[in-house]
Each structure stands twice: as structure tokens, then as C-alpha cells.
Structure 1
Amino acid sequence: MKVIISGGGTAGHINPGLAIAKYIKKKNPKAEILFIGTERGLETKLVPRENFEIKMIKVRGFKRKLSVDTFVAVKELFQGLSEARKIIKEFKPDLVIGTGGYVCGPVLFNASRMKIPTLVHEQNAFPGVTNKILSKFVDKVAISFKEAEKYFKDKSKVVFTGNPIRSEMLEVSRETARKKLGIPKDKPLVVIFGGSRGAENINSTVAELIKRHKNDLRFHLIYATGEAQYEDIMKKIGDVKSPNINVLPYIFDMANTMAAADLVVCRAGAITISELTALGVPSILIPSPYVTANHQEHNARALEHNGASVVILEKNLRPDILYDQITRLLDDNDMLSNMAKSAKSMGITNATEKIYAIIKDIMKTKQKT
């Protein structure tokens, strides 16, 4: 079994692909899996870390306004189509999967034209432009939110699966995770991150919070700035000598970090939401206001409505407000416990198995035709 998986840009597109790849290898140890991405995306770091091969094509997203970048994007699109077709011809996959990002366009389009079984996975309640276009060509569309179905014309292709969760996220225990991270049993752990690329407003708020409270924190803090903003944030914070504070560019071991956390402060992206609910982790969500159709706030409000999260809109974000919310929740064990139970009740942990069942189905159907 030979499989190409394409998805790129942010961890939200890459991690579902990695989860699917690992499950395929679990079921078919001899399966050959190749990722296709771009040099600009985080896939250049995340995919090799998991020991999967990756090849790059040149393609970029289109901006809404006509500019010189538009013509560059058109040129790279045709180049990407040619490069993707060459890779597919050489690798000869039995199946091609897309997990989001503009890199999927040339790969899935070529595969469908070459009559190779194709599947695209949409993580969000409001589908991206690339996936809406690809839905016309692929064999099946896996969705993570039932609300996404209405945006796809051919409902017969759409299957509700939920978001794939990396197997390691579900296998680690809280006790083991805290021991590995060196978190004392009696110290609450708060984890803060703004996404794989970081979030400027969250970073400036947390940097100020640390400056004010680094000598009197009553909890252990693991804080990821995003690699692009790490140096600037460290300059703002200054010397951090507190053993309670660990500032990182990026959290690679998210499985242990999430499992060990008493409270997570983060954006409300689809994959993050899926991981929080699968593990049953209470959260303070700060939805990004810069996403299509404000879908992150819809994600966040769903958790808040079910008692699993507290939502702070970015326009209301202040160091004192965030610190007060964190300490208020950590001081109320009953509330944290109820939030954890509510989050867990919303979790979907078998999405990868559902997607694998779709894979087997479309491959059988293609073989018959």
C-alpha cells in the first residue's frame, strides 16, 4: 500500500496527516507513505521528526486583492501542478489524502485526474477555499464538524468523522507526563500557546503577565511563543530565573504537555479543540479574530456553552484579566473538575479509525471500476 498525504502551512493541517499516517502504518506496517508540502510550511520540521519522507513543491496561496503577488501565485500554481504530477507518477500511490492548506490543491487535483482514489479531510466548521474546490474532484470528504456539511454541494461524498487525534495524545497518562516534564505533584500546571506560528497579541499579554508575576507565580507555566516571535518575547520578558516558568519557541511534545496540564490557554483552532476535548483538559480560549467567518469563536463558544471552557475575546485581552481568570479557575477545584468532565464528554477519539474505514471503502470501489 502506497499513500501520499498532502497538508501544510500550520500544525493544524499537518498533525491530522501525521495521525492518519501513523494509523495506516499501524494497520499496514509495510505501507509506504510520502508527504508533500512546501518549503514555507511547518511540515518541513514536523514531518521529518516523525520519520516520514517528505517532498516539496512550489505553490502559494492567493491574496484577495490583485497585486504583483497574484501573478507570482499563478506562476507557482502551474509550477506546483507540474511538480506534483511528477512526484505522483514516480511514487505511483494507491491513495492520495489531503489535510488542508493550499499545497493540497495541485496534489489532489492531479491525483483525481489520474484516477487515483482521493480523500480530503476538513478540520473546521467553515471549510477552506481549497477544500471546497477539491470536493468537486475527490472521492470522499471527511468533515470534523457536522456544520461543515452544508458548504459541500455533493452530500453523498461527505462523511462526518471528527478530527484525527495523534495516537500519542491518547496513550500518555497524567502521572507519567508530569514526571517526564518534571512538574511537582503539588504544583498546578498552566500551558499557554498561540498556535504554531505564535499570536502577537497573546504573546504581548503573556510577556507582560510574566514580567509582573515571575517572582510570585503559584503555578508552573509552560509557554510557547511560536518560533518567529521567540527572540522578541524573550527580550521583552528579560531574565527569567524562576523554576516555575519555562518559555519555549514551540512545544514539540504536545502529548505529554497537554496530559500534564491543569489548564490550557490557547487559540480555538479545530485541532486544538479536538485535542482538549479528547483529553478532557479545561481551557481558557482566546479565538483568533483573523480567520474566515470567525470560525474560531464559534468553536470556542461551543466549549463554553458546555461548561468546558472560559472564552476571552482578543479585544478584551489584558494581562490582569488573563491572570485573574487563571488564578480564579486554579483556586476552584470543583469548577476545574467539572470543566474537565464537560470537555471529555465532547471528545471524539476514534476519528482516525473512521477515516481508515473510508480509505478502505474508496480503494475497494476504485478497484471494482
Structure 2
Amino acid sequence: MAGERPLIVLAAGGTGGHLFPAQALAEELRRRGYDIHLMTDERVRDYGKNFPASATHVVPSATLSLGKPLQVPGRAFRLYRGYRQARGILASVKPKAVVGFGGYPSFPPILAASRLGIPSCVHDQNAVMGRANRMLSRFATRVASSFPVLMGLPEQAKSKLVVTGNPVRDIALQEKAAPYPSLTAQEPFNLLVFGGSQGARFFGEFMPKVIAALSPEMLATLHLVQQVRPEDMEQVKSAYGSLSFSFDLQPFFMDMPKRIAASHLVVCRSGASTIAELGVIGRPAIMVPLPHALDNDQLRNAESFAKAGAGWIRPQAELEPKAFAQFLTRLRYQQGELAEAAEKALGHGRPDAASRLADLTEFLAGTHSK
């Protein structure tokens, strides 16, 4: 019908790590006049409430774990059902292109797009290519990477690679290159601690021991903002309440980019979206990669950020509260080191990532005539 906006389908699993960059691309494509549909899994109800799509299609998917052979047939059949459903939807809505953001929820839509002759792209947020994307790279038209070096990219897919960076949402771009807050020995020291559900649990246990090991002089100017799980809130609040310092504890921060911009230093996990937002806003971080993460992707993300001079890696297994408190104290009183790391973080960031990925999507959409 004349006047209809061209359609792009985005495929992303229902976790923040996959949905946030997909949301950033959706926001940019909508500004360019495209209609957006989202293909995802059931978890979108928790993470995708603000996703700017005119339609959301929940498609069956499953993780193929070869370490659990008894589960493989059932999960493979679920993926096949998802493929059949995705193929039917794509054949009906006729998108110009399909962009997947990793995880097995991307598997049925990208495979269906390949079979239907619809141009497609898989975007990998991490420095190590995810297992689903590795398999999908043989079917996709292009592979987009957040990092200049993408580990695990199959040899036959290297000619498809385009480095775009990891798109960040508009709410983060609003804080782009925010001026680093003034920090002298007498001024408040703003420390932000967060890490998703698993990170919040660990930091909820570890940080009270760290804070208890700080000197009275350090506590006098400390302002701590920390994500704490609801079930841990009373215990952490009680531990901090026995000390004399300023703190703000919440289970979830809707305005996390503003909190990052207001901080002097961040203590966090090293998921891809976290690293991307730290780089765009320009804040240094002490990163504690999630242990036993698949393919060590969080460690590789952290290594890229640290290598740029933007932060420091502290493996969880090696953390000790008193030593960590001493490290925080050193950074707090050597303000030039933090300000310099903030500058290096900006150099690592790619604020134009959503625009670059949108350019690639438009290029693919232009190759699809029907």
C-alpha cells in the first residue's frame, strides 16, 4: 500500500544484553522512517516493556546444550517449531531485512530469512562471538561486530564482517561524553556499583565488607549508589547503616545512564551493554567479570576496556575486601588517574554505533526489492 513505512524485523532474546542494542537500532531506524517488528522469546515480558516496535512476535526457541544429550531432541524440535513459525510470519509481513542480536531466539528468524531470500545480519555484542551467532553466520548476509577483533568468527564468515560498535539506547546517548564530575579531597566521591541479578547478589555480599574496611576519612566523603536484590536489601542496608556515610540502594535503576554520568568510578560486571554505555558516557570502571561465563565473553570485554586504559579487571575469585578497599582509596585520592581513565573510556566508546548499524541495515534493505 502506498505510504506504508518499510518494515525491518529485529530478532533478540529477552535479556537486557540482547534487547538493549536491538532497542537502540529500533530507535534509530524509526527516526529514519522504518516500521519495526520484534521477534523474541517469552522473557520479553520482563525486559522489553519499552521496546519501540509496532508488533512483537513471541517465537519458540531453545538453547542447544550438547552437554545434556537427553535434552537435545526436544530442544531441537522446539527450535524447528520456532523456525516454521518465524518463516510463516516473515512470509506474511514481508520485511526488507532481518537483524538478529544473538542468543537462540535469533536462530529461527535468521534461518527463516535465509530460506526466504530476505537479507539478514547478525550483530554480536561481545568480544567473543556467541555460539548461536557462530552457527548463524553461515546463513546471514552480514556479520556486525561491537569490537574491532571478534574472536570465534568462522573463517568462511570473515568476508561478511562489518565493525559497527555496540548500539546504546537513546537514554544513554543523552549522557554522551558527560563532563567528568569535579573531585577533590573535600568533595563527595560518587561510587556506583551494579551488575545485573548475579552481580547484584555478589556485590551485595562483598561490598559491605569493603566499605567496613575503609578509613573514616574515606567514608566522610563517600556517596555510594548500589543495585541490591530485594531479598538482600535489609541485610545490606543494616550493614551500611552501622557506618557513617551516604548511600542509595535500589533493586533496579530506571535511570542507570544518569547514575553512570554522575559517578566518579563504577564497580560492575563487564557485559557488552555495560561496556558500551561506559564508553559512550566516559566513565572508568573496576570490572569483575562474571565467573564461568560462556566462552569467557565478559573477561574478553573487560580486557578490551582495560587495554584502552579505561579501567581495571579484578577476577572475582581473587577479590579480598581489605585489598579492594585500599585500591578504592588509592584511586579516590589520585584524582588524575580516574579523570584520565574517563578520557580513555570515551576513546573506547562508539556513540555512532546505532547509526552505523542502521546504515548497514538500510544497505541490506536496499538489496531486497520485494
The one-letter amino acid of 1:318's match is: E
Deviation at 1:49, TM superposition (A): 2.1
**Structure-2 separation of matches of 1:26 and 1:217:** 46
Q: 1:51 to 1:126 in 2, by over 3 A?
A: closer
Contact 2:289 2:299 survives alignment (8 Å): yes
Match of 1:236 in 2: 235
**Structure-2 separation of matches of 1:251 and 1:14:** 17
TM-score normalised by L of structure 2: 0.86
1:56-205 to 2 correspondences below 5 Å: 56-148=58-150, 151-152=153-154, 153-172=156-175, 186-195=187-196, 198=199, 200-205=201-206
Match of 1:363 in 2: 365
Residues 234-253 of structure 1 deviation map (CA, whole Å, 9 limit, x = unaligned): 24325465882222222232
Moved more, 147-156 or 265-274: 147-156
Match of 2:263 in 1: 261
Contact 1:205 1:319 survives alignment (8 Å): yes
Deviation at 1:174, TM superposition (A): 8.4
Match of 1:182 in 2: none
Number of residue-to-residue matches in the alignment: 354
Q: 1:108 to 1:279 in 2, by over 3 A?
A: same
Asked whether 1:45 is paired with 2:50, we answer no
Deviation at 1:305, TM superposition (A): 3.1
Deviation at 1:209, TM superposition (A): 3.9
Q: Secondary structure at the match of 2:329?
A: helix
Q: 1:77 to 1:173 in 2, by over 3 A?
A: closer
Residues 176-202 of structure 1 deviation map (CA, whole Å, 9 limit, x = unaligned): 999xxxxxx942221111235545433
Deviation at 1:44, TM superposition (A): 2.2
The one-letter amino acid of 1:302's match is: S
Deviation at 1:24, TM superposition (A): 0.3
TM-score normalised by L of structure 1: 0.86
Contact 2:96 2:119 survives alignment (8 Å): yes
Q: Secondary structure at the match of 2:349?
A: coil
Asked whether 1:17 is paired with 2:35, we answer no
* CA RMSD after TM alignment: 2.8
Q: 1:219 to 1:275 in 2, by over 3 A?
A: same
Structure 2 spans left out of the alignment, 5+ residues: 1-5
The one-letter amino acid of 1:236's match is: Q
The one-letter amino acid of 1:142's match is: A
The one-letter amino acid of 2:25's match is: I
Contact 1:219 1:244 survives alignment (8 Å): yes
Contact 1:112 1:137 survives alignment (8 Å): yes
Contact 1:149 1:158 survives alignment (8 Å): no
**Structure-1 separation of matches of 2:252 and 2:66:** 30
Structure 1 spans left out of the alignment, 5+ residues: 179-184
**Structure-2 separation of matches of 1:210 and 1:149:** 37
Residues 72-131 of structure 1 deviation map (CA, whole Å, 9 limit, x = unaligned): 322321222233223323433222110111100011111121111211101122111111
